[in-house]
Each structure stands twice: as C-alpha cells, then as structure tokens.
Amino acid sequence: MRIQCTGVLHPALELEGRKLLMLTQELAGVSRQALGERVANLAAERAAIVAALDLALTGI
C-alpha cells in the first residue's frame, strides 16, 4: 500500500535509510509501551514534528 499524504500534517522523515511519514492523527492512539525501545533520535526533524502537532492541535 502506498500512502500519498505529505505536507505539514504528515511530514516525511528518514530513519535508518527508510523514508517514513508521520501520521500525526494516529499519535494519540499509541501507548508508550507499544512504541518499544528507542532506535533513533529525530531531533533534527523537530521543526517539522512540532509544526505537525501544532496543526493537529490548533488547526493553524
């Protein structure tokens, strides 16, 4: 299945050479335990992640 949603709400991120989309609206449904152990640091993507969360929470 190929997902074609990009932009502010769904930023494209690269993790260990894999291109991924952040499905911002799905974050509330994922428990911390379900995430498993930390495998990477996305600090470099902070601005895109914060912008997506801001849009999801405030609509702006």
Q: What is the pLDDT of residues 1-57, one digit of tens each?
A: 454 556 899 999 988 899 999 999 888 888 888 888 988 999 999 999 999 999 989
Q: Residue 50 has what pLDDT?
A: 95
Which has the closest alpha carbon to 57: 17, 4, 7, 9? 9
Q: Residue 28 has what pLDDT?
A: 83
Angle, vertex CA 46, rays to CA 25 and CA 55, nearest 5: 35
User: Where do the DSSP E strands lie in the chain?
Assistant: 12-15, 18-21
Backbone angles phi, psi at 55, to 5 degrees: -65, -45
Q: Residue 6 has what pLDDT?
A: 62
Q: Residue 4 has what pLDDT?
A: 54
